Amino acid sequence: MPSYTIALLDGDGIGPEIMAEAVKILRLAESRSDLQLELTHGAFGAGAWFSHGDAFPRETRDLCDRADAILKGPIGLDHEQTGKIPVDMRPERGALLPLRRRFDTFANFRPVRLAGGLTHFSPLKPEVIAGGIDIMMIRELVGGLYFGAKESGRNAAGKRYVKESLDYDEEQIGRIARVAFETARGRKKILHNIHKSNVLKSSVLWNEVLGEVGREFPEVEVRHILVDAAATYLCLNPRQFDVMVMENMFGDILSDQAGGILGSLGLMPSACLGPEKAYYEPSHGSAPDIAGKNVANPYSMIGSVAMLLEMSLGLKDEAGHVWKAMRSVFDRGYATPDLAGPGSDSQTISTRSFGDLVAEHYAAAPAAAD
Ligand code: IPM
Ligand code: MG
């Protein structure tokens, strides 16, 4: 029986409670498949800084090194707590970026999906999203402004200044472009390339390299769109997009906007793939204001489990069943409080109940051997 080690990094705020629901689904996947999962929790994030003096402690790094895949919850505490941590040790700079760098997880997949029956969760008009939304945003995750050289100080005129550089080389662009073309080839064969080449030289090189890689994929049509225009069209006509590829910072911003058009960042799971290892995480923050209240939406965390099952364990059918189970819960009229807007007909349920209902539907799905 194949055995896999999964590192579970609960993170901060709502992290532990949504992770608990994700673990239910992982355990179910294990019992339904011919495999064994060793699930080990590791400290990570602001809490880890307070307990270990390091937001990404050595034990957790070792655990991640040993693991076949990593499932990570959101990180970060409120402004006051965060203020107690030295700037460079805060969970984003002290844990998340080092995690991305350690495993070179350059390919960040952020599915932006709202099934036809769930369009009422979106703030967009029904006619704009009739039939639902189904976009795969692909964000380069280990380059650009996030990882470029930074300096700050006082300039010759005595003024405080800061300088951050947006670095990419052709290899970094080429590998994410290839991932994007491969993904587009497996879907509708249309790739939207998001850039800002009217201003940024980095986008000029990006487009050049993307064009070169594109020659290997003649069946994929590339549509170039400026990042600011893409932001507009995501609202006006999101259904024109299928696969979108972009550099790190553009992806950070447009993927949050995508959460907005779905109705909640709670509907945004993600996969971060490197050459050897992948980690999976919700795209949203740790929502410390609602932590421990059993109201957070575990969809992104469970969706991240579905992506892990498919992309790291090769269990595509099981992943499909998990997605379907989550849809069924919504189809039955249930929603978590973040989704049920004022005047909504949805019956709001807790984090735990949502997880239990998803598990119930998933358990009822036909098993592989059936
Ligand atoms: C994301 C998050 C992170 C990012 C933060 C927490 C550093 O917003 O994954 O989108 O900016 O990449
Ligand atoms: Mg973000």
- The residue annotated as part of the active site, out of 252, 280, 299, 362, is 252
Instruction: Tell me the mean pLDDT in the region 138-145.
Output: 98
Averaged pLDDT, 135-155:
98
Instruction: Please give the pLDDT value at position 342.
Output: 74
Beta pairing partners, 162: 152
Domains and CATH numbers, the chain: 1-105+274-370 (3.40.718.10), 110-267 (3.40.718.10)
Residues with CB under 6 A from ligand 1: 92, 96, 252, 283
Alpha carbon 148 to chain centroid distance? 22
pLDDT at residue 237, rounded to an integer:
97
Please determine, for residue 64, whether its predicted confidence score (pLDDT) is greater than 90. yes
Is 328 a residue whose pLDDT tops 90?
A: yes
370 has pLDDT over 60: no
Residue 288 clears pLDDT 90, i.e. is over it: yes
Segment 217-230 shows an average pLDDT of: 98
At 340-360, the pLDDT tens digits run: 877 778 899 999 999 999 999
Residues whose beta carbons lie less than 5 angstroms from ion ligand 2: 252
Task: Summarize pLDDT for 84-93 with one digit per residue, the tens.
Answer: 999 999 999 9
pLDDT tens digit sequence for 119-138: 989 999 999 999 999 999 99
Q: Amino acid letter at 188?
A: K
Among residues of the chain, what percentage have pLDDT more than 90? 93
Contact 96, 75 (CB under 8 A): yes
Question: Which of 368, 365, 338 minimizes the C-alpha distance to 351?
Answer: 338
Cβ atoms of residues 266 and 273 within 8 Å: no
Type of residue numbered 229: A
Closest CA to 55 of 39, 69, 38, 72: 72
The C-alpha atoms of residue 109 and residue 6 are separated, in whole angstroms, by 19
Helices (H), the chain: 15-32, 46-52, 58-66, 79-83, 91, 97-102, 170-185, 201-214, 227-236, 248-262, 299-311, 316-331, 351-363
Shortest-distance atom of ligand 1 to CA 251:
10
pTM: 0.96
Residue 56's pLDDT is: 98
For residue 252, indicate whether it is catalytic: yes
Instruction: Tell me if residue 146 is catalytic.
Output: yes
Closest CA to 306 of 294, 292, 321, 291: 321
Residue 185 in tokens? 């080839």
The DSSP secondary-structure symbol of 129 reads: S
Q: Which two tokens stand for residue 20?
A: 């608990």
Predicted confidence (pLDDT) per residue in 153-202, tens digit? 999 999 999 999 999 999 999 999 999 999 999 999 999 999 999 999 99
**What pLDDT shows up at residue 309?**
98
- CA–CA gap between residue 71 and residue 15 (Å, rounded): 11
Question: How many other CB atoms sit within 10 Å of the CB of residue 245?
Answer: 28
Is the pLDDT confidence value at 118 over 90?
Answer: no
Helix (H, G, I), strand (E, B) or coil at 181: helix
Residue type, position 35, single letter: L
Catalytic residue among 62, 169, 228, 331: 228
Mutate which of 56, 96, 253 for ligand 1? The one with the most ligand atoms within 8 Å of its CB, which is: 96
Question: Of all protein residues, whose CA lies closest to atom 1 belonging to ligand 1?
Answer: 283
243-246: strand order across its sheet: 36-41, 3-9, 69-72, 278-280, 271-273, 107-114, 133-140, 243-246, 190-195, 221-226
Catalytic annotation present for 228: yes
More confident residue, 367 or 217: 217
Tokens of 288: 């410390």
DSSP codes of every residue in 265-323 = GGG---EEE-SS-EEE--SS---GGGTTSS-S--HHHHHHHHHHHHHTT--HHHHHHHH
- Amino acid letter, residue 164: E
CA distance 133 to 114: 5
What pLDDT shows up at residue 307? 98
Ligand nearest to the CA of 100: 1
Pocket test for ligand 1, best of 101, 252, 280 (most atoms within 8 A of CB): 252
Report yes or no: 351 and 287 within 8 Å, Cβ to Cβ. Answer: no
Please tell me the residue having the least CA distance from ligand 1 atom 4: 252
Tell me whether residue 81 is exposed, middle or buried, using C-beta atoms within 10 angstroms of its C-beta: 0 to 12, 13 to 18, 19 or more. middle
pLDDT at 369 over 70: no
Residue 308 burial (CB < 10 Å; 0-12/13-18/19+)? buried
Q: For all residues of the chain together, what is the average pLDDT?
A: 96
Please check whether residue 37 is in contact with residue 67, taking contact to mean a CB–CB distance below 8 angstroms. Answer: no
161 is catalytic: no
